[in-house]
């Protein structure tokens, strides 16, 4: 198949297939992340960003390449999540610039669009690093502009895709950490997958979306919630008030006493409420139910195994909060002078931020990177003349910067990369000072705090001369993996020894949602016995992903 001109209809098909191909490959891209930690993975962020772009494209009825490119760029910009999503949005922002006013596009115009994408992507990053998605997009665009042997758009895209693959394979030679771990760059892989989708469309091929059963289960839950919420006339109409979700890790010893049959189990649970969903897979059972008796539901389930990932929400309280929020939206109020927006996750940590001056919490962090649109929505809600944003995650800073650029009010993005950096910064904030004084003070606070994190490994790897097995616990000293152990508390002890030195005075620990009382007591006892000269505080952070967030000052 060959074509001299790229039409809008074909360009739309290219975007549709690229989105499907990226969605199908997102877990493979996630697995390329250098650190084996559960985080806002590259594949997930790029896929969500791409889906937002496609959604905007599907809303316009046009066969103009430039109009489709503009819609695609807008959707990507608003839906951008994580550093990879922001860079992707900037690549196609430049791509859109190169296609302005074009109803149809030939090879030279398409090559120019690729180059414009490179320029915009590099401008978006303060310190561009080679061996990343930036290198892949640059090499592919350079080849496109040197490929003068054809006027065939398909052959140009073939050459671009081939060069992107070659560039991706070479990324470990440019970035030593990739070579050490034995992977190529994840963002570059995501871009290659998009180009492969483009090429498939040009060749008249099709790509079917692969259903992710875990996401399918989550979608079912979302649909159940939407149907339930729509049926509530008032709080009194909620018959089963507790939205209960958990997982059962089937246990061989318990199964000998209580045989598990999915159909019988579902029938038993059905008597306790409605909106029931049960999915069994490889020794784990996922459950969602609206019930008045969550305790009895879980007690019944414990006959078959151990409960995990328990989440119980009071829907009556949620309903009242939604109604109160809707009422507040209807009431006009004057803008405030200054507002502080914080990205955070975990009830305890959220409360800590609110107690030291946060005006608005965006729920997010590791595994939940908010989009540019999420941040813009928060900016609108605080209704302030001047806004400070605390991302508290290195993978959210670019999204915050992009939101600041798109907002019409005065925005300051405080470059906090961890929760402790956010707490330290917000603690020294003084509304009596001007922005320059506050930003300088917060910069010093960031430099004076150390962060320790305890989480678990999602795969086997070897990094920083540490051999790490899947499900081992790992300790991060700021942003580097410093220690590892099969036991959570032993990992925490090793990390504390690595973090704390004789000049440190204050230690604050936030417990995650997975901590037991025995584990808390053990770590408190160790700290009191080992670090006698340091003042220590302990808080229920309730954060996901991290068993401990450690703040050292």
Give the mean pLDDT of 297-317. Answer: 82
Residue of 73, 155, 63 whose CA lies nearest to 113:
73
Q: Is residue 114 pLDDT above 70, yes or no?
A: yes
Residue 242: pLDDT band by 50, 70, 90 thresholds? confident
Q: Is residue 135 pLDDT above 90, yes or no?
A: yes
Of the candidate ranges 10-14, 134-138, 204-208, 384-388, the one whose mean pLDDT is the lowest: 204-208
Q: Average per-residue pLDDT in the chain?
A: 86
Angle at 48 between CA 188 and CA 19, to 5 degrees: 70
The dihedral formed by the CA atoms of 367, 373, 374 and 377, expressed in degrees to the nearest 10: 180
- Predicted pLDDT of residue 325: 58
- Predicted pLDDT of residue 396: 92
Q: E-assigned strands of 71-195?
A: none
Give me the phi and psi of 410, to 5 degrees please: -80, 110
Please, which contacts does 297-301 make with residues 24 or more away whose CB atoms are closer than 8 Å?
297/244, 297/269, 297/272, 297/273, 298/244, 298/246, 300/268, 300/269, 300/272, 301/246, 301/248, 301/265, 301/269
Q: Residue 162, Cβ neighbours under 10 Å: how many? A: 14
Q: Count CA within 13 A, CB hemisphere, residue 191.
A: 38
Q: What is the largest CA-CA distance in the chain?
A: 75
Q: Is residue 390 pLDDT above 70, yes or no?
A: yes
Query: Which token pair is 71?
Result: 């819609």
Q: Is residue 333 pLDDT above 80, yes or no?
A: no
3-class DSSP state of 417: coil
The predicted model scores a pTM of 0.75
- Predicted pLDDT of residue 285: 86
Residue 321: pLDDT band by 50, 70, 90 thresholds? low
Q: Is residue 217 pLDDT above 90, yes or no?
A: no
The dihedral formed by the CA atoms of 61, 222, 83 and 412, expressed in degrees to the nearest 10: 90
- Predicted pLDDT of residue 463: 75
User: Helix crossing, 107-124 with 133-146: angle to 10°?
Assistant: 150
Per-residue pLDDT of 419-437, as tens digits, reads 999 999 999 999 899 999 9
Of the candidate ranges 11-25, 62-76, 226-240, the one whose mean pLDDT is the lowest: 226-240
Q: Is residue 293 pLDDT above 50, yes or no?
A: yes
Give the mean pLDDT of 483-497. Answer: 92
Residue of 62, 119, 130 whose CA lies nearest to 96:
119
* DSSP letter assigned to residue 13: H
Give the mean pLDDT of 200-213. Answer: 77
Pairing of strands 284-291, 305-314: unpaired
């Amino acid at each position: 198949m060959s074509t001299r001109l790229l039409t809008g209809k074909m360009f739309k098909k290219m975007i549709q297939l690229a989105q499907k191909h990226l969605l199908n490959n997102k877990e493979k891209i996630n697995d390329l992340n250098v650190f084996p930690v559960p985080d806002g993975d590259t594949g997930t962020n790029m896929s969500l960003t791409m889906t937002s772009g496609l959604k905007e494209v599907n809303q316009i009825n046009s066969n103009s390449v430039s109009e489709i490119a503009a819609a695609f760029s807008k959707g990507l910009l608003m839906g951008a999540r994580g550093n990879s999503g922001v860079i992707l949005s900037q690549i196609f922002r430049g791509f859109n610039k190169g296609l302005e006013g074009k109803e149809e596009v030939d090879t030279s115009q398409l090559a120019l669009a690729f180059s414009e994408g490179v320029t915009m992507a590099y401008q978006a990053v303060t310190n561009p690093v080679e061996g990343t998605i930036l290198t892949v997009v640059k090499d592919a665009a350079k080849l496109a502009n040197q490929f003068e042997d054809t006027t065939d758009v398909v052959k140009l895209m073939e050459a671009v895709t081939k060069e992107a693959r070659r560039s991706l394979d070479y990324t470990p030679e440019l970035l030593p950490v990739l070579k050490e771990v034995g992977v190529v760059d994840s963002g570059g892989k995501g871009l290659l997958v998009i180009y492969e989708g483009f090429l498939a469309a040009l060749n008249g091929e099709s790509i079917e979306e692969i259903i992710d059963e875990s996401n399918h289960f989550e979608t079912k839950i979302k649909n159940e919630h939407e149907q339930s919420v729509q049926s509530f006339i008032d709080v009194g109409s909620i018959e089963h008030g507790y939205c209960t979700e958990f997982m059962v890790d089937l246990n061989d010893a318990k199964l000998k006493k209580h045989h598990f049959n999915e159909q019988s189990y579902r029938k038993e649970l059905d008597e306790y409420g409605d909106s029931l969903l049960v999915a069994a897979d490889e020794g784990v059972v996922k459950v969602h139910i609206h019930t008045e008796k969550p305790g009895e539901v879980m007690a019944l389930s414990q006959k078959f195994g151990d409960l995990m990932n328990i989440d119980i929400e009071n829907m009556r309280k949620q309903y009242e909060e939604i109604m109160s929020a809707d009422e507040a939206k209807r009431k006009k109020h004057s803008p405030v002078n200054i507002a502080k927006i914080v990205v955070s996750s975990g009830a305890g940590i959220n409360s800590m931020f609110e107690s030291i001056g946060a005006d608005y919490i965006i729920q997010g962090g590791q595994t939940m990177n908010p989009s540019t649109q999420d941040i813009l929505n928060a900016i609108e809600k605080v209704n302030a003349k001047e806004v400070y944003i605390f991302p508290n995650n290195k993978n959210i800073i670019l999204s915050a910067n992009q939101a600041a650029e798109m907002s019409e009010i005065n925005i300051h993005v405080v470059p906090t990369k961890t929760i402790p950096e956010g707490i330290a910064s917000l603690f020294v904030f003084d509304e009596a000072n001007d922005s320059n004084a506050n930003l300088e003070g917060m910069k010093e606070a960031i430099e004076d705090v150390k962060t320790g994190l305890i989480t678990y490994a999602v795969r086997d790897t070897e990094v920083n001369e540490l051999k790490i097995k899947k499900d081992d616990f790992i300790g991060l000293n700021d942003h580097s993996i410093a220690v590892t152990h099969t036991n959570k508390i032993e990992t925490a002890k090793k990390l504390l020894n690595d973090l704390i030195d004789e000049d440190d005075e204050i230690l604050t620990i936030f417990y995650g949602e997975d901590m037991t009382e025995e584990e808390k007591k053990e770590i408190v006892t160790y700290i009191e016995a080992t670090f006698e000269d340091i003042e220590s505080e302990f808080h229920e952070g309730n954060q996901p992903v991290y068993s401990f967030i450690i703040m050292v000052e």
